[in-house]
Structure 1
Amino acid sequence: MTTAPAPPAAATGGARRFVVAIAAIAALGGALFGYDTGVVSGALPFMARHFGLGALGEGVVTSALLIGAAFGSLAGGRMADALGRRTALLWAGAVFTGGAVAVALAPTVPFMAAARCVLGLAVGSASVITPLYLSEIAPAHLRGRLVSFNSLMIVSGQLLAYLVNAVLAHWAAWRWMLGLAALPAVALLLGVLFLPDTPRWYLGRDRPDEAAAVLRRTLPAADVPGELSRIARARTLETDARRGARQELRRPWVRRLLLVGIGLAVVQQITGVNAVVYFAPRILAATGLGTSAAITATLAIGAVSVLATAVGMALIDRVGRRPMLLWGLTGMAVSLGLLGAAFHLPHTAGLSYPVLALMVLYMGFMQATLNTGVWLLLAEMFPLKVRGLAMGAAVFVMWLVNFGVALAFPVLLDAAGPGRTCWLFAAMCVLSLLFCHRYAPETKGLALEDLEQELRRAAGGGGPDDEAEEHGADGAERRAAAPGPSAR
């Protein structure tokens, strides 16, 4: 069912309220993404006692959501294209709701793992559908802020999870921690019922009147015909570009860029961020801190993550992508090295404080630099013809590595101890720093059409054969398909 858009907003204030309402509802998908990935950190210690989980069992229960998210991220984009962005969000809201209830009521470990895997389908699909919906329905002057707002909602969802965990830990109410995710999921489900689909999707289904009706709620009426024409042209160029995707991937320089993108996705995960997100109470418990106190202490990690993400969003276009990655990885490596050393100090009552402070410092560097920079680079660095395919492959690998880290971390923590485990992640930061210094591109301030030429030269794709093709039919098609100079 498609809800017909209401009459046009009478004033700019009405349009702004409409866009804000859309952002608030759609970004619940990002908040649920954050909540469902963060809540397990507080529920896991009590769940482990209830089910008698060992280190491997903790890893399986934690990582089950992530393997579902990997495949959900693959399905999300295709479902959004086939059914519509709005319908895909409805589907995600329904799975979020059912999955949260199923996880909260799980009677056995296999049921819990299966339910979290299903919940992961919603998490993964929301990671694709929510920014897609926001980017397509927001007016151009608000698009960057609204899509970045989704990233902020993810870490805010994690902070909310830590807050709920801290409150409910006093009663060991781990089922309530998991089940309360159903409340924002129902809000998402009900809220999306009142949203229109995006003008881009309506035009793709030959429904221009509905596309125009949505645009009239976000733009002055005089701008609507021009925007409709722009969207129609962009869809035509994108369709032409997709037809050449497989051929484009045969080019060595494009394949190299794809490998660099996948490498950046791996870097984001092997440097330890989700080990902290999922297992912070377990790490703090190794210092002698009680379970409830350790769960409460994670609030500091969540609060710093939100603040650091906001700082990263403010700095990324001023400082540049590469400097952010390099400085961030340096700070992360130092923080983890000191954290590993802290665990080799005598275990006194005050050890928890420097350990928590170093974890907070590490998360501040991570969220402000690497997390912000990698997602932005993946959205910018690929040529138009392979952008969707290449970014989808990188995100899929990101979820798979996330799954591997979550599965292995509890076992590694038991086998090597927290100090050596932190040093291992510090070593991964150093290797990642070398990788980014050698391969990470700088995309700051370049229009996408110029960026493609720069990346072609940097990746070694500017030889005679490529130049000849550039001046031939294929090169002409590429130039025609590239966005205009104002695209960022």
Structure 2
Amino acid sequence: MIYLIILIASFLIGFNFSVISGTLIFLDETFLNTSFQQEIVVGSLLIGSFIGLLFVASFIDWFGRRNSLVISYALYFSGAVLFSLSDTIDGLIVGRLLSGVAIGASSVVAPMFLAEISQKDKRGGIVSLHQLLITTGILFGYLSNYLIDESGAWRSPYAASAFIAAIGLFGAVMSKKFHFTHEPTRKTDILMTFGPEIKKPLILGILLASLQQVTGINAIIYYAPSLLLQEGIASRDIALFASVGIGVVNFIMTIFAIYFVDRLGRKPLLVYGSVGMILGLILSLFGYFEMGTLLYIAAFATSMGPVVWVYLAEIYPEKFRGRLMTIATFFNLFFNAVVAFTTLDLIRLVGVSGLYGIFIFFLIISIAFTLRFLPETQGKSLEEIENSFKKI
């Protein structure tokens, strides 16, 4: 039951990220008439996420994980209700901001909590459930958009997400199994003991979290229907249906990652997955847009999608894990926001081919970074990983 309560937050992360892709098409027919307005509504979720990170960084190591989840679910609920009832762009933005604050908090709490309650030989797979439920949320977001057949019905998915958030809130408040608390840690400690055991994992985590975003995944997740329409590949209905296919591939391949992450290790999955993402983008550049996109999504789902969160939940010392993971997640969401705010403008400036060329460049950097700097954490306890950095 405790896993389910945590993973509802993961589901809502993915749902909120993907559901907007179809909503944009319907709102484009009503009162979101410019790409700037669309980018503001999409990007406001990320702005809220930054606020959520600042919020969770202040108390996650002081008051435990349960309070973080309770507040996150309350914000998910409030944001979804406001968005579903809004008739103005201001209401849409505020609703997305509230949901974003919840995402910022739960993006840190969920994988970290899962890592702390898992056995070392199963930790990779269990933490990968966080990404699996994110992809499940993404899939349901796409599917709900496809099932909408009239403009006014775009509110229904947000009402449904409010109901799911209410279930998570009730479970987090009522469950008697949430007893994970930590002794208060002085804020100055993290600066006073800024040795290798903190410095190296912090830098590795920041770079890894950033690379997950600048390699382009959320350009596809946010704007998949728009990209299909932009390329003249599909009508509105077919574009929405194709985005459901993206969600299905993302979901299925994440299941494979859960199986292999504790058997093959973290580094091989990252390297092979990055190579697959490059091949997918190249196929798209040569005109095989649908096939290339699906290969890119499949490769991401077996590598960067789950493995980055496994690493971030593993490499930080227990005493500072909450705050250090918050820092890495901040950079992840920052570059997520950069992608959200610039994708449509970059397509206008350099075209889809130029945009994909940028993603290929960062994927090559990611492969080199993984091979040269990332340690393999497979089969090690959190204490063993922490001690390994102290010996550097």
Work out whether the TM-score is over 0.5. yes
d(CA) in 2 for partners of 1:418, 1:147: 34
Q: What amino acid sits opposite 1:66 in the alignment?
A: L
Distance apart, 1:134 and its partner CA: 4.9
Quote the residue 1:284 is aligned against: 228
Matches within 5 A, 1:245-264: 245-249=190-194, 251=195, 254-264=198-208
Matches within 5 A, 1:295-334: 295-334=240-279
- 2:208 is the counterpart of 1:269: no
- 2:136 is the counterpart of 1:156: yes
Deviation string 1:9-68 (CA, Å, 9 cap, x unpaired) is: xxxxxxxxxxxx333333222111111111011111222232243222222211110121
Q: What amino acid sits opposite 2:235 in the alignment?
A: G
Distance apart, 1:374 and its partner CA: 1.4
Secondary structure at the counterpart of residue 42 of structure 1 = helix
Contact 2:61 2:320 in 1 (8 A): no
Given candidates 298, 302, 305, the residue that maps to 1:364 is: 298
d(CA) in 1 for partners of 2:267, 2:127: 21
Given candidates 38, 42, 53, the residue that maps to 1:62 is: 42
Matches within 5 A, 1:88-487: 88-134=68-114, 146-169=126-149, 171=151, 173-196=153-176, 198-201=178-181, 244-249=189-194, 251=195, 254-288=198-232, 289-342=234-287, 354-384=288-318, 386-452=320-386, 454-455=388-389, 461=392
- CA 1:139–1:199 in 2, change beyond 3 Å: closer, same or farther? farther
Quote the residue 1:41 is aligned against: 21
Identity in percent: 31
d(CA) in 1 for partners of 2:71, 2:383: 35
- CA 1:401–1:28 in 2, change beyond 3 Å: closer, same or farther? same
Distance apart, 1:255 and its partner CA: 2.8
RMSD of equivalent CA atoms: 2.8
Q: What amino acid sits opposite 1:165 in the alignment?
A: N
Secondary structure at the counterpart of residue 196 of structure 1 = coil
Secondary structure at the counterpart of residue 294 of structure 1 = helix
Quote the residue 1:225 is aligned against: none
Quote the residue 1:212 is aligned against: none
Contact 1:29 1:126 in 2 (8 A): yes
- CA 1:192–1:451 in 2, change beyond 3 Å: closer, same or farther? closer
Q: What amino acid sits opposite 2:81 in the alignment?
A: V
Q: What amino acid sits opposite 1:103 in the alignment?
A: F
Contact 1:170 1:292 in 2 (8 A): no
Q: What amino acid sits opposite 1:399 in the alignment?
A: L
Secondary structure at the counterpart of residue 139 of structure 2 = helix
Deviation string 1:221-244 (CA, Å, 9 cap, x unpaired) is: xxxxxxxxxxxxxx6xx959x874
- CA 1:131–1:380 in 2, change beyond 3 Å: closer, same or farther? closer
Distance apart, 1:394 and its partner CA: 0.7
d(CA) in 1 for partners of 2:24, 2:149: 11
TM-score relative to the length of structure 1: 0.73
Q: What amino acid sits opposite 1:123 in the alignment?
A: I
Q: What amino acid sits opposite 2:210 in the alignment?
A: V
Q: What amino acid sits opposite 1:436 in the alignment?
A: T
Q: What amino acid sits opposite 1:314 in the alignment?
A: Y
d(CA) in 2 for partners of 1:67, 1:432: 26
Distance apart, 1:133 and its partner CA: 4.9
d(CA) in 2 for partners of 1:94, 1:383: 29
d(CA) in 2 for partners of 1:412, 1:425: 12
d(CA) in 2 for partners of 1:56, 1:122: 24
- CA 1:449–1:307 in 2, change beyond 3 Å: closer, same or farther? same
Distance apart, 1:307 and its partner CA: 1.3
- CA 1:194–1:452 in 2, change beyond 3 Å: closer, same or farther? closer
d(CA) in 1 for partners of 2:68, 2:382: 28
Contact 2:126 2:258 in 1 (8 A): no
Secondary structure at the counterpart of residue 251 of structure 2 = helix
Contact 2:281 2:360 in 1 (8 A): yes
Deviation string 1:443-474 (CA, Å, 9 cap, x unpaired) is: 223344443454456xxx4xxxxxxxxxxxxx
List runs of 5+ in structure 2 lacking aligned partners: none
